[in-house]
Amino acid sequence: MQKVSSQPSPVIHEPKASLAWIGQLFLVAVALLALYLVVSNLIKNPILFTQFVVSGLQLGFVYAMIALGYTMVYGIVKLINFAHGDVFMVGAFVSFYAVSRFNLHKWPETAFPGISEGLAVVIGSITVMLLSMIVCVMMAVTIERVAYKPLRDAPRIAALITAIGVSFFLEFFGALNFVFSPRFIPYDRPFEVVAWYIKDGIHRITEGQAPPDNSVTFSNIFIIIVLASILVQFFLQFLVRSTKIGIAMRATSFDKPAARLMGIEVDRVISFTFAVGAAFAGLGGVLYAIAYSSIYTQLGILPGLKAFVAAVLGGIGSIPGAFVGALIMGQAEALTMGYISTPMRDAVAFTILIIVLLVRPTGIFGEPEKEKA
Amino acid sequence: MLLEVNNLDVFYGAIHALQGISFNIQKGEIVTLIGANGAGKSTTLRTISGLIRPRNGSIIYKGQDITTVAAEQIVRMGISHVPEGRKIFAPLTVKENLRMGAYTRNDPEEIKASMERVYTSFPRLRERENQLGGTLSGGEQQMLATGRGLMSRPELLLLDEPSMGLSPILVQEIFNIIKEINSQGTSILLVEQNAQMALSIAHRAYVLETGRIALEGDAREVSNNPQVKAVYLGI
């Protein structure tokens, strides 16, 4: 909103304007440096570069699954649900218990002894993922009911602080010895990792064998993450575009009183939105744990925050934006790890956040928020 | 009696917006509430449709007390509210807006038939079927809002300022359609600042002045009242 003032006040604006070039120059320098790093390394060793891109894609597609939940929930209740990353963590832990304690992934072999091994692994793994998703959905819906719904009419900052509180609660409650324990826990995968390298065609890497130099390697987990994430994206597009509840979600996010006049149960639609986001986060948690094979109660913090940055980068509230933002974040992180240093990976994520907020606060696909009269 | 409003008291914080108003609507009627800005017309509609809770008084619809029923349930009972300012879902297409109007219904075939009926009444909407609601002109938005309100197949339609911001030709067109909707059996509660147009199609009228009913009666009677003539009709 531009304020109309009768008296011009040029004095206040002048110092701002004269200093702005320093910031702009800095941003341009950062951008040029990043571009130089990327291009020079791409030319120097395109194969190594491709390898980093592959690991960046794996990260990016995981972030995409989390970022969707951030952006959907923000779209409908204008809340940054900081507990979302911890829902992701719970998803990983549920699958850990299902696999390591209860052997849930083995159920098809027990129930149908004659079943082929491959099919048994697929069904077993999908069961584990579904269980994690269901637990995450129930948890997120409960969190929404208990912590956010009573604050629906409170100032937005109250709900935001509550979300941070819920996030801490999940992390530290989970760290109690009788819950998940505060330790790093090695994660047993429900299926074997199979890796391939690309050099003169695609070859399988046998166990104990190191891939040859100048080759790009990838694993079945990479393929599963990419496929699952794309599937989730298409499912969500379909849901939001073509189903009654999806259209109601968009109507509710645009105008709640008008939605109520249509007979839309706004509270139910909000719960449903939390549920869908949590299901994706739960799936992401399982895949993340399978890919990186070690879990602990704070594992959701950084992926959660990076997915949040991804959602902001893409334009918070925009579903394709979250997807694109997440892929960019994955690349930024992987290339930083490869060419600058591994500890810099987190710093880069938040540098991107700062730059987005400075240059284009609405993100890539975002539109400026309408002020309602 | 379709709707009976008794001694309704509504507050906005400390402001006493409705001060004990009573009125009723018979089946098949067009009843209009006229009055100046801030008289409480929209508040009355918002209270009936459940968006605002009254402090005192009751709203009886078909013999049932709906005073404390939630807005999303009231639509299901057969009252549809076309709100002030149209409140079109701008990021939804025309078709999706109409689909949301039929949110309470589940039979896809019948919903399709209702949509067809809306398109027959408003051919412009059919042309713009896949356009986003936010890109429509004011008149088209009013048509969409009215059509959307009809999609729940209401027995009682609450219309809030359907003529607002429209050219005289469009106003005439909208009012013709309101009359037509009424002739097909839907009762209408019409809130208008354009008193002349409202009185020309209504059966009965209530004049609202700062939260109170100042005058009521047959639409013709009301339009012949010297004070109404001076204040609202500008004659």
pLDDT, one tens digit per residue, over A219-262 is 999 999 999 999 999 999 999 999 999 999 999 999 999 999 99
Percent of chain A with pLDDT over 70: 94
pLDDT number for residue A290: 95
pLDDT, one tens digit per residue, over B149-166 is 999 999 999 999 999 888
pLDDT number for residue A370: 53
Mutation choice for A interface testing from B42, B89, B106 by most A CBs within 10 A? B89
Between chains, do B81 and A255 touch, taking CB under 8 Å as contact? no
CATH topology of domain B3-87+154-233: Rossmann fold (3.40.50)
CA of A160, closest CA in chain B: separation in Å? 26
pLDDT, one tens digit per residue, over A48-89 is 999 999 999 999 999 999 999 999 999 999 999 999 999 999
Strands of chain A, DSSP E: 185-186, 195-198, 202-205, 216-219, 294-295
Q: Is the pLDDT of residue A317 over 70?
A: yes
Q: Is the pLDDT of residue A2 over 60?
A: no
Task: Report, as an integer, the average pLDDT of A83-96.
Answer: 97
pLDDT number for residue A371: 44
Question: Can you tell me whether residue B103 is helix, strand or coil?
Answer: coil
The pLDDT-based confidence of A6 (bands split at 50, 70, 90) is very low
Between B46 and A30, the more confident residue is: B46
| Per-window interface: A 258-287 vs B, CB < 8 A | 258-266
Is residue B208 within 8 A of residue B40, CB to CB? The reply is yes
> Nearest-CA residue of chain A relative to B46?
A261
Closest residue by Cα to residue B136 from B192, B98, B176: B98
pLDDT number for residue A338: 92
Domain layout of chain A by residue ranges: 60-194+201-298
The token duo for A320 is: 């394709």
pLDDT number for residue A3: 44
Q: Is the pLDDT of residue A5 over 80?
A: no
Is residue B12 within 8 A of residue B19, CB to CB? The reply is no
pLDDT number for residue A201: 85
pLDDT number for residue B14: 87
Q: CA torsion, points A124, A130, A135, A137, in degrees to nearest 10? A: 170
The pLDDT-based confidence of A372 (bands split at 50, 70, 90) is very low
Residue in A250, A254, A264 closest to B103 by CB? A264
Q: Is the pLDDT of residue B218 over 70?
A: yes
The per-residue pLDDT of chain A, averaged, comes to 90
- Range from A10-14, A121-125, B75-79 carrying the lowest mean pLDDT: A10-14
Buried b (16+ CB within 10 A) or exposed e, A58-91: bbbbbbbbbbbbbbbbbbbbebbbbbbbbbbbbb
Q: Is the dihedral of CA A242, A245, A246, A252 positive or negative?
A: positive
pLDDT number for residue A254: 95
CA distances from B135 to A61, A241, B124, B132 (A): 35, 18, 13, 6
Q: Is the pLDDT of residue A287 over 50?
A: yes
pLDDT number for residue A208: 77
Between chains, do B91 and A250 touch, taking CB under 8 Å as contact? yes
Question: Can you tell me whether residue A340 is helix, strand or coil?
Answer: coil
CA of B221, closest CA in chain A: separation in Å? 33
pLDDT number for residue A369: 59
CA of B150, closest CA in chain A: separation in Å? 10
Task: Report, as an integer, the average pLDDT of B28-55.
Answer: 93
Domain layout of chain B by residue ranges: 3-87+154-233
Is residue A171 within 8 A of residue A305, CB to CB? The reply is no
The token duo for A196 is: 């391939």
Residue in B70, B76, B100 closest to A248 by CB? B100
Task: Report, as an integer, the average pLDDT of A204-233.
Answer: 90
Q: CA torsion, points A137, A161, A75, B73, in degrees to nearest 10? A: 70
Q: Is the pLDDT of residue A11 over 90?
A: no
The pLDDT-based confidence of A99 (bands split at 50, 70, 90) is very high
> Nearest-CA residue of chain B relative to A255?
B89
Closest residue by Cα to residue A332 from A306, A358, A365: A306
Task: Report, as an integer, the average pLDDT of B82-111.
Answer: 95
Between chains, do A263 and B152 touch, taking CB under 8 Å as contact? yes
The per-residue pLDDT of chain B, averaged, comes to 93
Which chain B positions have a beta carbon within 8 Å of A266's beta carbon?
Answer: 72
Q: Is the pLDDT of residue A12 over 90?
A: no
- Describe the crossing of helices A301-314 and A319-339 by its angle, rounded to 10 degrees: 120
Between A202 and B81, the more confident residue is: B81
Between A147 and A26, the more confident residue is: A147
Read off φ and ψ for residue B17, nearest 5 degrees.
-75, -45
Task: Report, as an integer, the average pLDDT of A35-42.
Answer: 91
Question: Can you tell me whether residue A167 is helix, strand or coil?
Answer: helix
The pLDDT-based confidence of B106 (bands split at 50, 70, 90) is very high
CA of B192, closest CA in chain A: separation in Å? 20
Residue in A244, A260, A265 closest to B51 by CB? A260
pLDDT number for residue A207: 78
Closest residue by Cα to residue B144 from B191, B102, B86: B86
Q: Is the pLDDT of residue A9 over 50?
A: no
The token duo for A227 is: 């496929």
Between chains, do A255 and B51 touch, taking CB under 8 Å as contact? no
Q: Is the pLDDT of residue A114 over 90?
A: no
Whole-model pTM: value is 0.90
